[in-house]
Amino acid sequence: MSAEQMEGTTVFDYTFAIKGTRLQVWQALTNSESLATWFAEHAEVEPRVGGAYRFWGKHTPNYGTPAETNQTITALQDQELLEFSWKWGGAPSRCSMRLEDAEDGASTIRIRHSFDGPISTFTEEVSVWVARDFWRVAMANLEHFVQTGTPILLVDHYETGPARDVRVSIDIDAPAAAVWESLTDPEQLRVWLSKDPDFPCDPSVDLRVGGKYSYGWSAHEECGCIGPGEILELEPGKRLVHTWHHEGDDTDSTEWTIEELAPDRSRLTVRQIGTSSPREFSGYSNGWATYLMGIKASHES
């Protein structure tokens, strides 16, 4: 991933590997019904330059309404390149998707997303992080759709409840006890935390109320001190609540709950408590989704 400032434009640039052929990926990108399955609640695609590439609804940040949605295709090369314009959170942006073949029937898709200024009320640096997490979730859903016909986790961007808590859940083919260890054993924490190379980790856990609970993240210049610190509530095997700090955010705690669906299947839910702005809500929705998918992969891969 590269984040750079170019003539006032914020840029996200990353190449994702997809376990699917270039044709399969292209069809998922350019078919309205497919796009409305893995990417957005609603979608309309006219596969031609100047045609619509509209998507909206609860799975889209700053979701808007059909009347407010005007994404347009600006470049198109069959099975090679799709570019479209997108006004995201008031910021005009341009997104380029370039496809290439990879080995063993796989492919790659390079996402280059540039903004004419920050998204909504975000800073330019935070805009890049928001785009990063959004596209990570989207590409994981794309790959899962190509393989199974369904997405892996669609994030709900609607704010719910007076406290505007963020809730994200994922089903995992693993016993509840194993999923619990992913949250409480430092070595198991390291497995899924280390999937994010932008946040080197050194987790530590003192599993008791009042005990230390840390991901061991280094401070980042863009976002300041960030991460959990202390266990507030504990129901072994079922529920964990810890403090949370992110400089500039009002939310100060995170809750994890595990539900046993079957002996070898569990549902893991994370709740970020009391977000107070669209920046917080959107950031935590996609951010936690990427980590939930990492936990799922650590058990199912």
pLDDT at 1: 40
Residue 145 corresponds to which amino acid?
Answer: F
Residue by residue, pLDDT tens for the chain (301 residues) are 444 443 447 788 999 999 999 999 999 999 999 999 999 999 999 999 999 999 998 898 875 566 668 899 999 999 999 999 998 877 889 999 999 999 999 999 999 999 887 777 677 777 888 889 999 999 999 999 999 999 999 998 775 554 578 999 999 999 999 999 999 999 999 999 988 887 889 999 999 999 999 999 865 444 446 899 999 999 999 999 999 998 888 899 999 999 999 999 999 999 999 888 777 887 899 999 999 999 999 999 7
CATH no., domain 2-148:
3.30.530.20
Query: DSSP characters for 214-256?
Result: E--PPPBTTTBSEEEEEEEEEETTTEEEEEEEETT-S--EEEE
pLDDT at 224: 46
CATH class of the region 166-300? alpha beta
Q: What is the pTM of this model?
A: 0.88
Contact 185/291 with Cβ under 8 angstroms?
A: no
pLDDT at 6: 39
pLDDT at 159: 59
The length of the chain is 301
Q: How far, in Å, CA of 220 to CA of 225, rounded?
A: 7
- For 15, the enclosing helix (H) or strand (E) is strand 9-18
Domains 2-148 and 166-300 share a fold: yes
Domain ranges of the chain: 2-148, 166-300
pLDDT at 46: 97
Q: Which residues contact 219 (CB under 8 A, 6 or more apart)?
A: 225, 226
